[in-house]
Each structure stands twice: as C-alpha cells, then as structure tokens.
Amino acid sequence: MGDVMNATSRLVLFCVLIAVCSSHPTKYPDVNLDVYRAKGTPPPFLSYHIHCMFIAYNNDSISAAMDLRNRFIQHFNLSTTKPCEGLFHQGRLCMFDVDYTNTGPGDPFVSAEWAVFVPLEWYAKTVPWVMQNRGDQDILVHPNSGAEVSDHIHWPLWMGAKWPINAQAFTNQTAF
C-alpha cells in the first residue's frame, strides 16, 4: 500500500510541476525585476499578447472565436508562419496554438482562448485591427514586462467583457 501511495504522490507532484511550468506568461529571463523595484519604476513593456476568450464546449462561442482567429491570420499573412514556440520572447508576430481546455489550477485563464504574440513594432497594426473586427468576442491585450501579475491584472486592456484571471498561476507574484 505504501508503494502505491508513494507512486501516486510522485505522479501528483509531477503533474503539478508540469502545470506550473507550462503556464502562459511570456518570460524574459534577462529582466531583473529587483532592479526596477530598487529604482521605484515599473519595468518596460517588451511585447504584448492578444487573447481571444471563448467558452469551451460551446459550439457558437468556439465558431465565432475561430472565425476571428482565421481572419486575423489572413489579414496579417500568418498562414504559412510557424506557430509561436514556447513562452519566451518570439521576436516575431506569431500565433500560439489554440487552448481549448485552459482551465487547470496552473493556468492563468479560466476559459478556452487563442493568443497572438505581438512584438512592439506590431502593436499599432494588430490591436486596432482587433478592436474593429472582434464583433462580440471578449479580448484581452496585456503587456509582457516580466512582472506577470501586473501584466495580466493591473496593466491589461479589455475589449468586451472582462474575464477572471487566476493570478495564482503566475510564477512571479510581485506586482508593481
């Protein structure tokens, strides 16, 4: 019985570690937030994410979200662009894979969503396009500074309804 409990405990710990390590935020390993805290200034925005929230298992919600995603891909000529790789800085405009089940305890989002990595130089083109083309879709635009909580909770822009964010999922709990 002890071996089964020990194996079960290790499996649970492994699953928790995977969930924590695969959470959404874009990491900037070279950003030392302590430097900005010492200066009393927030870190600079290094890039952005655009997220389209939708209800998992609701065909109408999924269809509307995927329609917007497809139009975004067409408009910005991303159909032959490789998807974003990992969660670190991409250096290019790219789409993350659609997450239909983004609802685990290690996920910052409590719904399904699709997302785009937006370098600074693409912000002025992509965000206005989404504003004008989102229809009834709920959109989150947040900066990536390395301060995950502030990026998602204090500094984001919402279009449509504001959805809850699971701030406990972030590895860096420091807010500015």
Q: Is residue 20 pLDDT above 60, yes or no?
A: no
Instruction: Measure the CA–CA gap between 26 and 143, rounded to whole angstroms.
Output: 9
Q: Which amino acid is it at 18? A: I
The helix/strand/coil state of 161 is: coil
Scan for tokens 């860096």, then name that residue.
172
pLDDT digits (tens, 9 = 90+) for 155-175: 999 999 999 999 988 877 777
Q: Please list, in sequence order, all residues whose beta carbon lies within 8 angstroms of the beta carbon of residue 174, skipping any fewer than 6 positions away.
A: 33, 37, 147, 149, 150
Outline where DSSP puts E strands in the chain: 47-54, 94-95, 112-119, 138-144, 157-159
Report, as an integer, the average pLDDT of 121-132.
98
pTM: 0.82
In this model, does residue 102 exceed pLDDT 80? no
High-pLDDT (> 70) share of the chain, %: 82
CB 60 within 8 A of CB 137: no
| SS3 of residue 172 by DSSP | coil
Q: Which of 17-26, 78-87, 89-98 has the lowest mean pLDDT?
A: 17-26
Is the separation of the CB atoms in 122 and 136 below 8 Å? no
Average pLDDT over residues 32-43: 90
* pLDDT beyond 70 at 2: no
**The predicted structure's pLDDT at residue 141:** 98
Judge whether residue 11 has pLDDT over 80: no
